[in-house]
Amino acid sequence: MLGESKAETTAIKTEDELWKHVFKRLVAWTAKSHRMNPADAEETVQEAIRLFLKAGRQADPADPRALLLALGSKVNGIAVNRRRKKAELAVRLTEDGSEAEPDHPSSPEERIVDAQVARKAVSTLLDRVGEDPVVTDIIMQTSDGVEDPADQATAIGCGIRDVYNGRRRLKTHVDAVRKLMEGW
């Protein structure tokens, strides 16, 4: 899917047209090859482009295939890292810190209930933080898989100290929601 035909690329004259074309192709490819919803695929491609440009790379309208391949490689790395991080977070620990025995595979009904509980918990948490935009943004960044404080600060557009202070404020709300969840 990343390969380009000559007819598809001959209409590309400017760098702006190139980026639009490449973005559209990469989002479709990412969604399909990494089994992502379109919003997650778009976010992954945006992150790949950000890293590409941050590294000082340039886009040549004469060679869209090279740009697609370079960005496709970045997309693969980001997608794999996100999947790996989610898998690591899924490991359950016992009270003494050792790894718990794996539960039986959850049924589709259990997964639906778990997803509903998670949505309710996040909604309750967002209600609790109220008008604190930094804490709200931290919650949204974390739910999107961005957990590094520096990355969150960049995405939110604030200083890293603001993120750490927001995380401290968030902890009390998380603890309160966790107690509420025990009764759900």
Angle at 139 between CA 52 and CA 123, to 5 degrees: 135
Sequence-ordered list of residues with C-beta below 8 angstroms from that of 50, at least 6 positions apart, any chain: none
CA distances to 51, 75, 108, 129 from 133, rounded to whole Å, are: 26, 29, 35, 9
Four-residue CA torsion sign, 51, 53, 54, 57: positive
pLDDT at 163: 92
Q: What is the reported pTM?
A: 0.44
pLDDT digits (tens, 9 = 90+) for 16-51: 888 888 899 999 988 888 888 888 899 999 999 998
How confident is the prediction for the chain on average, in pLDDT?
A: 80
pLDDT digits (tens, 9 = 90+) for 85-121: 776 665 555 555 555 565 555 677 777 877 888 888 8
